[in-house]
Amino acid sequence: DDADFEYKIFNGDGSSAAQCGNGARCVGRFIHEQRLSPKQNIALQIGDELMRLEISENKDVRAELGKPQFDLAQVPCTLDSSGLEHELKLGHVAVNAGILSMGNPHAVILVDDCAATPVGKIGPMVQALEIFPDGVNVGFMELESRDEVSLRVFERGAGETRACGSGACAAVVHGITMGWLSPKVTVKLPGGKLEVTWRGDDHPVWLSGPALTVFSGNIDLQ
């Protein structure tokens, strides 16, 4: 009842997405451009979740993605493990990953060189693990400094994408819990930069960045 608008997100393969941070920010830009609401602060309903948006004067959109969920059963992930990182066995190789939910499941893997990482090979291997009954988005994060990371994400239902808002949030949250990162971090993705802010504990995660209209048209649904 508190939502100003309700929206749904679909992946390229037609499957429904439980969460999409950048998608929500684009919805905010659309609402503002189409003058569907005079508000600078907008509440969006996606499934059972309520997301808050803040639209700045320069039309950048800031989205609150809620609190991260670390309980593996709630991610969901059936791995019997505890701690901040979990071992994933990929054939004869094992990698450590942070596993959490930002409204959708994420596995975050720290890498030395983001650009050189075979994301298209490792991503599907992680997604194929039976411990993720609903699938998982796989993030590959390289630490640049305490305030900046590079990130590539292999998403459920979409493969590698140029940017993933919830993936950026998951990566930064994992980095903060591990003690690697500051509360405000710039995330460099193939499609551009995002800013993620998290003050830890029960605080929500905020995602900020530009949102631009690249196409406008009509679709015949008949």
Structural domain of 48? 5-64
Question: Which of the four pLDDT bands, split at 50, 70 and 90, describes residue 17?
Answer: confident
What pTM, to 2 d.p., does this model score? Answer: 0.91
- Do 176 and 89 fall within a single domain? yes
For the segment 110-137, the average pLDDT, to the nearest whole number, is 98
| Tokens at 125, concatenated | 């291997």
Q: Which of 64, 62, 40, 60 is nearest to 52 (CA)?
A: 64
Asked if 151 and 189 touch (Cβ cutoff 8 Å), the reply is: yes
Residues 58 and 82 in one domain: no
- The pLDDT value recorded for residue 16 is 85
**Comparing C-alpha atoms, which of 39, 35, 29 is closest to residue 62?**
29
The total of structural domains in the chain comes to 2
pLDDT at residue 57, rounded to an integer: 81
Q: Please give the pLDDT value at position 1.
A: 63
pLDDT in tens, 178-194: 999 999 999 999 999 99
57-108, pLDDT tens digit by residue? 877 899 999 999 999 999 999 999 999 999 999 999 999 999 999 999 999 9
- Please list the active-site residues: 20, 164
Residues 115 and 193 in one domain: yes
Q: Do residues 155 and 56 share a domain?
A: no
The more confident residue out of 209 and 186 is: 186
Using the 8-state DSSP alphabet, how is residue 28 labeled?
H
Q: To which H or E segment does residue 149 belong?
A: strand 148-155
Q: What is the mean pLDDT of the chain?
A: 94
Contact indicator for 162, 190 with CB cutoff of 8 Å: yes
Closest Cα partner for 164 from 199, 130, 172? 172
My answer on whether 56 and 100 are in the same domain is no
Which among 195, 129, 205 has a CA at the least distance from the CA of 174? 205
State how far the Cα of 17 lies from the Cα of 175, in Å rounded to an integer. Answer: 24
Tens digits of residue pLDDT in 37-68: 999 999 999 888 889 999 988 778 999 999 99
What are 52's two structure tokens? 């808050």
